[in-house]
Structures are given as structure tokens and as C-alpha cells.
Amino acid sequence: MELRILSPMEDGFVKKIEWNNEELKEAISAKVQDYKGLQYTEETIKEAKKDKATLNKLREAIETERKRIKKQCMAPYELFEKQVKEVLAIVDEPIQLIDSQIKEVEEQRRLEKKQKVLEIYEENIGNLKVILPFAKVFKNEYLNVSKSLKSITEEITALISKVNQDMDVIEELDTKYELQVKDMYVKTLDLSMALRENARLEEVERKLAERRVQQEKERAEAEKRAAEEAQKQQDVQLEGQISFNDVESFEACMNPPESEIGQCISEIGKQTFEECIARERQWVSFEANLTMADALALKDFFENRNIEFKAL
């Protein structure tokens, strides 16, 4: 089972192809010198095309000969290569058969080891199965022959311990966003990212609270301005409705003589006291130093007593 080259022997291979390259190179170099200095014009364009065709013909002849020699040189190698591939095909068949069996055995070994890793996980995971599923714990490198079950056990138990500690830290935050923070931790298994999520949510809440306070302040100010504007308008209306210029007439109206009151009382049998008082009504002008509350009370009094009043 040894490949031996019978023909040609080592010294039988073509070492060099002998041809008149120097002679041809010298002749062609001398010939092309005639073309280097040429300047073609519109009148001599036909000569330019003729010269180009001559050079192309020479080039094609040289290329054709090169290809012919190459084919002759490659012919024995191409036959040899074909024969070698036929032999290799015979060898490849059992190689592939053996390789498939090796892969099958190795795959079975990997499956068995993965099952052992799963058993290690189940023995140690406790109540973290939802947070830390097997898919997050398992690594493909665990199936390598060089990775021992002891080292795998140490890695898995260390990870479970870390997750338990991190979850304790999150619960100790006593944050209203505990669910969101835990969700971030479950996605990343990164405590720092979970804590940053809590800080982000708290900052969002703080800004929303500040915004609500500002909006409430602006609403209160707007209501105050509206009330002040309404009060101003009401004051203007009252100023037009109530005007007292004659203080003495006002006092006389508010303090009638006892004789008039007595006369009204003596006639109660015939009519009510109000009717008695009302029979002596007359227009009285006066002014008074009132607060707005006083003015409103006076207005109500006039309206309740059916007293007409108008602006002067």
C-alpha cells in the first residue's frame, strides 16, 4: 500500500522547455522600435489599423504555441490526478463510515453528560427554577471531555448562590417597583442593571410628581386669576347699581320718625306692616363707605324688600 511513480523517474520529468526565446525576443524588440516613434494622423489611420493587426497576429501566434505546450505538459499530470482521485475515493468510503460511528458515539456521550448536568441542576436549583431555568444555566462547554462534573457542579452552585443573594438585595430595597426590578434581573442576571432600572423608575415617578404639582399650581393660579377677574367685573356692576350721595336722605330712610312707624302700626289691622311702610316709598340718593361684602348684603336687602335701586 505504497504509491510509487514508475514513469517517468525523478530525472525523467521535463526540467526545462527549450525554445528560441532570446532570438525571438531580440527580433521582436527591434521590430517594435519602429512603432514606438510613430505618430498617426487622420490621413494615416488606415496604416495604424494595419500595424495593429500585424502585431495582434504575432501575439496570437505566440499565445497559441504556449497553450499547445502547456496542454502537452499537463496531459500526463491530468491523467495521473484522475487516477489518484479514483484511489482516494476507495479510501474515503471507510473513512466516512468510521467517522459517522465516531460522531454517533460522541453524540451519545454528550447526551449522557448533558443529562448528568441536568441532574446537578435539579439537585441544587431549589425555588429558583422559574427565575433561573436550565437553559440559562447550561453551557455547551460543559459537554467537552476536558470539563469535569466537579467543576460543572461548582459553577452551577456558585451561580445559584449568587442569584439568591441578588434577589435578597432586591427585596431589601423595599421598592414599589420590585416586580419590574426582578423582571430586569431575570432577563439579564445582572444586579447592577436591575438596580439602575429601579433608580430609573423612581426618577420617572419623581418627575411625574413634580409635573403634577406644577400643573396643580398653575391650575390654582388660573382659578385665582379667574376669580379675581370675576370679582372685578362684579365690582364694576355693583358700582353701576349702587350709588349713595345724600347721607342725610339715607339716614332718614333707614331711621324713619317714630310717629310714622306708629301710624303704620295702628293700621296693621287693615294691612300688613310692610305694606304700611311701603306706602311712603320715595327715591333717596346717598353714598356709603362699604366693603364689597357690605355692598352685596345691601344689594340682597334691597332685592328681598323689593326696593328699586339704580345708578346715578
Omega into 94 within 30° of 0, i.e. cis? no
Can you give the pLDDT at residue 146? 92
Is residue 181 exposed (0-12), middle (13-18) or buried (19+ Cβ within 10 Å)? buried
Can you give the pLDDT at residue 234? 76
Can you give the pLDDT at residue 84? 93
Dist. CA 127–CA 132, nearest whole Å: 9
Can you give the pLDDT at residue 214? 93
Can you give the pLDDT at residue 265? 47
* pTM for the whole structure: 0.47
DSSP classification of residue 280: T
Dist. CA 302–CA 305, nearest whole Å: 5
Neighbours of 106 (CB within 10 A): 12
Report residue 37: phi and psi, to 5°.
-90, 0
Q: In 3-state terms, what secondary structure has residue 286?
A: strand
pLDDT in tens, 94-112: 999 999 999 999 999 999 9
Dist. CA 234–CA 137, nearest whole Å: 77
Question: What interhelical angle do 149-172 and 45-124 show, nearest 10?
Answer: 80
Can you give the pLDDT at residue 56? 92
Please say whether the beta carbons of 128 and 163 come within 8 A: yes
Neighbours of 28 (CB within 10 A): 14
Dist. CA 140–CA 128, nearest whole Å: 21
Cα→Cα distances 188→132, 141, 171, 193, 310, Å? 11, 20, 17, 8, 80
Please say whether the beta carbons of 152 and 120 come within 8 A: yes
Q: Which of 183, 142, 191, 184 is nearest to 163 (CA)?
A: 191
Kindly give the parts of the chain with pLDDT less than 70: 1, 3-6, 10, 236-281, 286, 311-312
Cα→Cα distances 38→29, 45, 48, 58, Å? 15, 11, 9, 19
Please say whether the beta carbons of 234 and 225 come within 8 A: no
Dist. CA 307–CA 284, nearest whole Å: 11
Can you give the pLDDT at residue 64? 92
Can you give the pLDDT at residue 288? 77
Can you give the pLDDT at residue 246? 46
pLDDT in tens, 160-190: 999 999 999 998 988 999 999 989 988 888 9
Paired residues of 244 in beta bridges: 286
DSSP letters, 216-284, are HHHHHHHHHHHHHHHHHHHHHHHHHH--B--HHHHHHHHS--HHHHHHHHHTTTTS-HHHHHHTT----
DSSP classification of residue 244: B
